[in-house]
Amino acid sequence: MEDWRNGGFGVYLHWPFCQSKCPYCDFNSHVATRIDQSRWAAAYLSEIDRVAALTEGRVVNSVFFGGGTPSLMDPTVVAAVIERIRDRWPVANDLEITLEANPSSVETDRFKAYSDAGVNRVSLGIQALNDGDLKRLGRLHSADEARRAIAIAQSTFARVSIDLIYARQDQSIQSWESELLTAISLGTGHLSLYQLTIEDGTAFAQLHRKNRLPGLPMEDQAAEMFELTRQLCSGAGFMAYEVSNHAKVGEESRHNLIYWRMGDYIGIGPGAHGRMTIAGKRFATVAERLPDAWLNGVEAGGPARESTETLSREEQATEYLLMSLRLADGSSLSRYCSIAGAPLSPRGLEEMIGLGLLTKNGDKIMTNDRGVLLLNGVLRALLVDRQSDS
């Protein structure tokens, strides 16, 4: 059995446009005044046809419309994409189709049309539940609009997730606790809770370098917020099945699990990443980032200056460890050995277990609450040890 089947197969489609660029965002998103949606629809369908020919017969477990702001897509474009995916591949009986959305009234007005198109899960970019912090984060919606959008989504889609950012400017542990409890009370089945990080190339990074981003929490306070987040979510029945993602039983993001379990996924759209296993070789793909260049390239016969890299066994094994240790389920030592062609060296493993950062249960190794906070260090120890033994 090819290894990717342990994770499944999904399709990711990137919509690169937003109404405005949030100052913390380092995603491939662009502001455009005019978008020819019919051209974009035709390009997406063309790319689906191209990659389907390379992966014929695979069962699609999930489809994810990400961005950017996919809720700015015309519902007819979403419907056409879903229909073409169903035409080109067999799909799972419980196919998950997620669309990321912002909670503005313009976008929530489209929710029924997206549901009619086949979307059965929506991920709402709420980010904060008070107007002051929403403004600081560059969001265009209010807290009241966010609550209304959640209610509309819950009445429209089978499954709803919300995103929040914490460790924001001047945010106290007490205020985050109150905000998170409010979010939990809203009744969604999935919470994506991200610590604010200052990413290179963002407006926040420029401000931070100039000491114009005051009030960010110290590292120990941010760690305390992280621990509080896990405690409150666990107490409310939201399992931390991944470092930043919490879900009630059965509400986990099946699409993101494909990434973390190292399945194969097709990346379609500007800047989209993908992983494809073909004839026993695993490839990493990255599409052209600039929207116009990607569109023109696809229309010229595509792919649009897509880079394709063949991943070595060592690179695949490193990626597996990197992704799977983010999960509560952890990493399979036998699967790692099968991918790498050699077992994980026991020295670093024993050291991390001895330090109380990893636990071992049969074939599985898992980060515990302390290990999650120091995940990068755990990975370095395991991988450096492996390299020193090779």
Of 1.10.10.920, 3.40.50.2030, 2.30.40.10, 3.40.50.970, the CATH number of 313-389 is 1.10.10.920
Residues of the chain with pLDDT under 50: 388-390
Q: Please give the pLDDT value at position 49.
A: 97
pLDDT tens-digit readout, 183-236: 999 999 999 999 999 999 999 999 999 999 999 999 999 999 999 999 999 999
Whole-angstrom distance, CA of residue 266 vs CA of residue 64: 10
Calpha distance 159→96 (Å, rounded):
10
- Domain extent listing, the chain: 3-259, 313-389
Query: For the domain 3-259, what is the CATH code?
Result: 3.20.20.70
Per-residue pLDDT, 390 = 46
Tell me whether the CATH fold assigned to 3-259 matches the one assigned to 313-389: no
- Cα distance between residue 303 and residue 293, in whole Å: 11
Reading the block at residue 124, the tokens are 């709402």
Task: Annotate 82-151 with DSSP letters as a single string.
Answer: HHHHHHHS-EEEEEEEEEEE---HHHHTTHHHHHHHT--EEEEEEE-SSHHHHHHTT-SS-HHHHHHHHH
CA neighbor of 161 nearest in space, from 188, 195, 143, 141: 188
pLDDT of residue 302: 78
Element (H, E) at 293: helix 291-299
With CA atoms as reference, report the closest residue to 349 among 386, 322, 390, 389.
386
